[in-house]
Each structure stands twice: as structure tokens, then as C-alpha cells.
């Protein structure tokens, strides 16, 4: 499998590369060239940074429209944290900015709290344990739809979507590359779906 991690000036690329390199029959490359990205079996949008900076960098590299077209045409994509937010309709972070609009709903600030940093038990839609994952975010995707696969309950009974899937489009709020054995197991199961 040929996996490309999109370099758009945002994210912890090295950690994702290191984790994916632990799997057999996987070729992982960091890329921002349109031809390289188009030929991938899976594109990963990494996730550390701010939404407006990410969108601005995508537009500067002329990748925003490219992503919209190629993902719509069936290119498998996994958005991690901020990468998942980019796949949404838009975000209120530092003023409203439009996303790629593959997932409905907007990204908003976690109310009354600055940031959710740490480990959370994530449950699937049947309330079974999906995994224990590491989170680091202060914004979350506010929506409820059939795309939702797993979530966790935060302070004040706030449900935070942790895993989404819509056809060839996947998104996780957590950081599998920082989630040790459960992060490895997530990727092990996820890669079988691609």
C-alpha cells in the first residue's frame, strides 16, 4: 500500500511515519506534490495547528481545490484531529473559515474549557469499548449523523465525536500516532478497510 502524508505546513508528520513504518507492505512518504498525492492508495491529513492556518496553507499550495475534487472522486483520506476538522463544513476557530465540506457540521470551541489533553475511553455506537486514545484539542466537530462511528463523553456530559466514516472519507479526533498500542491496533484494523 502506498500512503502519502500531506505536508501542508501543519502537523506532527514524523510520529505518523514512524507508526506506519512498523507495518509490513506499507510505503509511506511525506508529499505535497499533486501528482504524488493523486497516485496514493491513502492520503493522511495530519493534525496539529490552527484551522485558519491549515486552510491558508492548502490554498497557498493550490491544494484546497485539488483535495476537494480528488476526494470527491474516491481518493481514500484519513483526517487526524485538525485534519478531520478540515474535512468538515467549517470552523469557528479564530473567526469562521470554510472547510472541504465532506462532513456536515461545524467545528466549535469546547465550552468552558480551554483544551482536552489526555487519554479518553472511546465507545462505538453500540457502547462497546473502541479503544483508549490520546487527545489534544480545544475544538470539536458539532454534529450528529450516520457518519459517526465512535465518541467519548467529556465534562458536563458533552459527547465528542472521535471517529467518522463517509464512504472513502475517514476522520479521527484522537491522535493514533500518540496512542501507543491502541493507536497501533486502530491503524492495523483501519488499513484493512482501505
Catalytic sites, residue numbers: 81, 175, 177
Q: HEC states along the chain? A: CEEEEECCCCCCHHHHHHHHCCCCCCEEEEECCHHHHHCCCEEEECCCCCHHHHHHHHHHCCCHHHHHHHHHCCCCEEEECHHHHHCEEEECCCCCEECCCCEEEEEEECCCCCCEEEEEEEEECCCCEEEEEEEEECEEEECCCCCEEEEEECHHHCEEEEEEEECCEEEECCCHHHCHHHHHHHHHHHHCCC
**Under 8 Å between Cβ of 136 and 116:** yes
Amino acid at each position: 500500500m502506498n500512503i502519502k502524508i500531506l505536508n501542508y505546513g501543519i502537523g506532527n508528520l514524523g510520529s505518523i511515519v514512524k507508526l506506519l513504518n512498523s507495518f509490513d507492505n506499507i510505503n509511506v512518504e511525506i508529499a505535497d506534490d499533486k501528482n504524488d498525492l493523486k497516485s496514493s492508495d491513502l492520503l493522511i491529513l495530519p493534525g496539529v495547528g490552527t484551522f485558519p492556518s491549515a486552510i491558508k496553507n492548502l490554498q497557498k499550495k493550490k491544494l484546497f481545490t485539488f483535495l476537494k475534487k480528488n476526494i470527491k472522486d474516491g481518493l481514500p483520506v484519513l483526517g487526524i484531529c485538525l485534519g478531520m476538522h478540515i474535512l468538515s463544513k467549517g470552523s469557528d476557530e479564530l473567526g469562521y473559515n470554510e472547510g472541504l465540506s465532506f462532513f456536515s457540521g461545524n467545528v466549535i470551541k469546547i465550552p468552558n474549557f480551554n483544551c482536552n489533553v489526555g487519554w479518553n475511553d472511546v465507545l462505538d455506537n453500540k457502547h462497546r469499548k473502541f479503544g483508549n486514545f490520546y487527545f489534544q484539542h480545544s475544538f470539536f466537530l458539532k454534529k450528529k449523523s450516520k457518519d459517526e462511528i465512535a465518541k467519548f463523553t467529556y465534562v458536563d456530559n458533552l459527547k465528542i465525536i472521535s471517529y467518522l466514516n463517509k464512504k472513502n472519507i475517514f476522520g479521527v479526533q484522537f491522535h493514533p500516532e500518540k496512542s501507543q498500542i491502541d493507536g497501533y491496533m486502530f491503524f492495523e484494523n483501519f488499513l484493512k478497510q482501505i
